[in-house]
């Protein structure tokens, strides 16, 4: 699913965001990406969705080498990936339904199919009754569920979540985690960058720890910090 | 791009215009003002040009025939056939004598047999004619003795008109650039307000063409809206001005009728459409 070898990203200001990272994330995995701010977690996710280009090394997603991906191929690469952000990134002037259907409309899904898929995914995230309200009328947790619905509505192979619980209270965070586990159970690979120690320690999933751009730990069922 | 997606683009464009209604109205207002400025300038230049042409039409050429030339009608036909000649009036020498008597204030200057004046043709020209060239051609016709026209005046008028035209065209081009700048900046504001939408479209896998279309249509609709408003205001305003000045129309012969309105509406619509569409494409490009 994701294969990196000596993956390095150095920004034009000289900051080394990722330093020779080599790892493999397999199809169906659930991996936490942990580390302090500035460790390179967001850069790693940005490289996967091809918002940025690696400076050197190999990065392949779904057997596509992202360094050699043509500009015209980027949209098609992104269609196999769902992304969830800490700040939800919902469109304030679109309803819940429109925010989700938007992801299908831009990839030119037939209208009939759009309706069925949007309602089915809204049911999964428990927001069927709020399909026609605007994001400003929703709580933070509900907004994040809309964001999740938008990320998975086109049935991506890979779901990237960048601090999805960062703006949420503990109870709501667990609701989002339950949804992510459910999505993962249905076969989608999930990579989640987080600072939430409680969630990582409790779920005991794979933990990839970064520090100053270096891979410092890759534990199959790890905790937030190294345990002896 | 699938054809069935086009209604989606149109729907999105209109939906976004209505949901961002305040911004849309402000954009249409700014585009209207910019096009109004252009339209006012356009009318001013067109009327200046029109007045110049009217002045040009006052230029007359007098063609004097040889004394006793037997075939003045043939010369008249040849003169009428010259390009740029609007009207040909024959002035027989008898009429010339009467005219001279009027000027000198004397009666019976010449008897019919002694009249030394030649027959003459008076030519009036079209607005675009070149008097010097017509005079040269007229002088070369058989039977023509002399050709007279106000050389100094026509040279001066020609200079003033050419200068006016050059200055007018340059200023009009500058106005067009100004309008383009204003329209692009206005549309850039509407696109800037929706940069997050573009970012999300890109993240969920929209192609660049797909992102551009709704914005392009929105730009065209905003441009068209501005052009329609500006057209209505200008044509109504101009009709009102013509009405107010109707009693002075002999002294201020402004352009009137459907011709100028049609040209103005066409120019404004073309500018609104092109600049709106171009402005959108230009503005969206920054976020792709």
Strand-pair category, A158-162 with A16-25: unpaired
Q: Say whether pLDDT at B251 is over 70.
A: no
pLDDT in the model for residue B159: 86
Helix (H) or strand (E) holding A211: strand A206-211
| Tally of CB atoms within 10 A around A68 | 8
| DSSP state letter for A83 | E
Contact A75 B5 (CB under 8 A): no
pLDDT of residue B18: 87
In this structure, what token pair is assigned to residue B155? 């040279």
Last residue of a domain, one of B91, B122, B149: B149
A212 touches chain B (CB under 8 A): no
Query: Do B48 and B67 fall into the same domain?
Result: no
* pLDDT confidence bin for A227, thresholds 50/70/90: low
Q: pLDDT (tens digit, 9 = 90+) per residue, B272-283? A: 999 999 888 988
Tell me what pLDDT residue A123 has: 93
Indicate whether B195 and B281 sit together in one domain: yes
Residue B171 — pLDDT band, cuts 50, 70, 90? confident
The residue of chain B nearest to residue A94, with distances taken between CA atoms, is B19
Pairwise CA distance, residues B138 & B147, whole Å: 7
Cβ <8 Å between B201 and A106: yes
What counts of helices (H) and strands (E) characterise chain B?
A: 9, 4
Q: Which residue has the tokens 């005219």?
A: B99
Percent of chain B clearing pLDDT 90 (strictly above): 19
Q: Select the residue of A89, A106, A150 nearest B206 (Cβ to Cβ).
A: A106
For B216, other C-beta atoms within 10 Å of its C-beta total: 20
Does one domain contain both B93 and B212?
no
Strand pairing of A30-34 and A56-61? unpaired
Judgement on whether residues B107 and B204 belong to the same structural domain of the protein? no
Number of structural domains in chain B: 2
- B107 and B189 part of one domain: no
**Listing from the earlier edge strand, what are the strands of the sheet with A56-61?**
A16-25, A2-10, A56-61, A64-65
pLDDT over 90 at A19, yes or no = yes
Res B178: pLDDT: 87
DSSP string, B225-255: HHHHHHHHHHHHHHHHHHHHTGGGTTTS---
Q: Which residue has the higher pLDDT, B69 or A47?
A: A47
Detail the DSSP E strand segments found in B53-112: 60-65, 85-91
Whether residue B128 is predicted with pLDDT greater than 80 in this model: the reply is no
Between residues A128 and B183, the one the model is more confident about: A128
Contact A195, A34 (CB under 8 A): yes
Q: Are residues B232 and B145 in the same domain?
A: no
d(CA A104, CA A94): 14
C-alpha of B214 from chain center: 35
Question: Which one of B8, B204, B209 makes the best mutation probe of the A interface by having the most chain A beta carbons within 10 Å?
Answer: B204
B259 or B39: which leads in pLDDT? B39
- Which pLDDT score, from 0 to 100, does residue B250 have? 66
Contact A108 B210 (CB under 8 A): yes
Same domain, B170 and B281: yes
In this structure, are B198 and B215 located in the same domain? yes
Buried residues in B120-135 as b, exposed as e (16+ CB within 10 A) = bbebebebebebeebb
Report residue A9's pLDDT band, with 50, 70 and 90 as the boundaries. very high
**Distance to chain B for A103, nearest Cα, Å:** 6
> What pLDDT score was predicted for residue B50?
83
CA distance B254 to chain A (A): 50
Tens of pLDDT, residue by residue over B136-167, are 999 999 999 999 887 787 778 778 878 888 88
pLDDT at B67: 84
- A83-117 pLDDT, tens per residue? 998 888 898 888 999 999 989 988 888 888 999 99
Q: How far is CA A54 from CA A8, B32, B205, B270, in A?
A: 6, 47, 20, 46
User: Mean pLDDT across the stretch A156-184?
Assistant: 92
- Percentage of chain A exceeding pLDDT 70: 99
Closest residue by Cα to residue B41 from B164, B143, B222, B168: B168
The CA distance from A12 to A15, in Å, is 7
B204 with A79: Cβ contact below 8 A: yes
* Per-chain mean pLDDT for chain B: 86
State the residue range of the domain holding B228: 3-55+157-285
E-assigned strand segments in chain B: 60-65, 85-91, 120-125, 144-149
Q: Name the domain boundary from B149, B170, B186.
A: B149
CATH number at residue B120: 3.30.70.3040
Round to the nearest angstrom and report the end-to-end CA distance of chain B.
Answer: 17
- What pLDDT does residue A228 have? 56
Give me the residue from B1, B200, B210 closest to A91, CB to CB: B200
B175 and B267 in a single domain? The answer is yes
CB contact under 8 A, B203 and A154: no
| pLDDT, tens only, B101-115 | 888 877 777 776 778
Going by their DSSP bridges, the two strands B120-125 and B85-91 should be labelled as: antiparallel
Q: B161 and B269, same structural domain? A: yes
Task: Answer yes or no: do B167 and B188 share one domain.
Answer: yes
* Residue B249 binned pLDDT confidence (cut-offs 50, 70, 90): low
Indicate the residue among B111, B129, B149 that finishes a domain.
Answer: B149
Name the average pLDDT for chain A.
Answer: 92
Q: Which of B18, B190, B200, B218 to mutate to test the interface with A (most CBs of A within 10 A)?
A: B200
Q: Are residues B24 and B103 in the same domain?
A: no
The more confident residue out of B65 and B109 is B65
A70 CB within 8 Å of a chain B CB: no
Which of the listed ranges A53-62, A164-173, B151-160 does the model predict with the highest average pLDDT?
A53-62
A217 touches chain B (CB under 8 A): no
Arithmetic mean of pLDDT, A125-143: 94
* Confidence class for position B271, pLDDT limits 50, 70, 90: very high
Tell me the three state secondary structure of residue B91: strand
Separation in Å, CA A75 to CA A50, A70, A72, B203, B207:
10, 10, 7, 8, 6
B145 backbone dihedrals φ, ψ, rounded to 5°: -90, -45
Q: What are phi and psi of A52, to 5 degrees?
A: -135, 160
For residue A139, how many C-alpha atoms fall within 13 Å in the half-sphere facing its CB? 10
Q: Is the pLDDT reported for residue A207 higher than 90?
A: yes
Task: Judge: A102–B200 Cβ closer than 8 Å, yes or no.
Answer: yes
Let me know if B256 is exposed, middle or buried by CB neighbors in 10 A (0-12, 13-18, 19+).
middle
């Amino acid at each position: 699913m994701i294969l990196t070898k000596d993956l390095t990203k150095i920004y034009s200001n000289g900051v080394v965001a990722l330093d020779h990272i080599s790892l493999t994330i397999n199809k169906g995995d659930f991996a936490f990406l942990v580390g302090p701010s500035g460790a390179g977690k967001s850069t790693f996710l940005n490289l996967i969705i091809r918002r940025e280009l690696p400076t050197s090394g190999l990065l392949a997603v779904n057997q596509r080498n992202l360094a050699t991906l043509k500009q015209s191929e980027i949209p098609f690469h992104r269609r196999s990936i769902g992304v969830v952000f800490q700040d939800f990134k919902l469109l304030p002037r679109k309803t819940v339904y429109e925010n989700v259907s938007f992801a299908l409309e831009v990839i030119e899904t037939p209208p009939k199919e759009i309706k069925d898929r949007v309602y089915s995914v809204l049911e999964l995230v428990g927001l069927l009754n709020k399909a026609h309200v605007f994001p400003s009328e929703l709580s933070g947790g509900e907004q994040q569920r809309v964001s999740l619905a938008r990320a998975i509505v086109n049935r991506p192979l890979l779901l990237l979540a960048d601090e999805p619980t960062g703006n949420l209270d503990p109870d709501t965070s667990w609701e989002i985690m339950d949804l992510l586990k459910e999505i993962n159970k249905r076969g989608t690979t999930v990579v989640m960058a987080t600072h939430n120690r409680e969630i990582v320690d409790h779920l005991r999933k794979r933990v990839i720890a970064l520090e100053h751009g270096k891979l410092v730990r890759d534990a199959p069922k790890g905790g937030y910090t190294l345990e002896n | 791009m699938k054809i069935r997606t086009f209604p989606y683009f149109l729907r999105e464009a209109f939906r976004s215009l209505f949901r961002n209604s305040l911004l849309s109205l402000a954009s249409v207002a700014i585009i209207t003002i910019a096009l109004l400025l252009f339209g006012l300038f356009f009318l001013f230049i067109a009327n200046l040009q029109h007045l110049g042409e009217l002045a040009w039409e006052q230029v007359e050429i007098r063609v004097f025939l040889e004394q006793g030339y037997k075939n003045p009608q043939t010369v008249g036909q040849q003169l009428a056939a010259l390009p740029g000649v609007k009207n040909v009036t024959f002035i027989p020498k008898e009429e010339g004598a009467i005219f001279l008597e009027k000027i000198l204030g004397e009666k019976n200057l010449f008897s019919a047999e002694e009249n030394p004046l030649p027959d003459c043709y008076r030519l009036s020209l079209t607005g675009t004619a070149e008097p010097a060239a017509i005079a040269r051609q007229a002088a070369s016709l058989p039977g023509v003795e002399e050709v007279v026209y106000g050389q100094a005046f026509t040279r001066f008028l020609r200079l003033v008109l050419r200068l006016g035209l050059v200055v007018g065209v340059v200023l009009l081009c500058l106005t067009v650039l100004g309008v383009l700048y204003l329209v692009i900046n206005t549309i850039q504001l509407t696109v800037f307000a929706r940069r997050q939408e573009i970012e999300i479209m890109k993240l969920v896998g929209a192609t660049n063409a797909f992102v551009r279309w709704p914005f392009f249509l929105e730009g065209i609709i905003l441009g068209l809206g501005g052009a329609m408003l500006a057209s209505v205001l200008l044509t109504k305003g101009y009709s009102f001005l013509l009405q107010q000045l109707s009693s002075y129309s002999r002294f201020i012969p402004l352009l009137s009728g459907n011709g100028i309105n049609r040209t103005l509406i066409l120019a404004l619509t073309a500018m609104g459409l092109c600049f709106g569409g171009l402005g959108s494409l230009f503005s969206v490009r920054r976020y792709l």
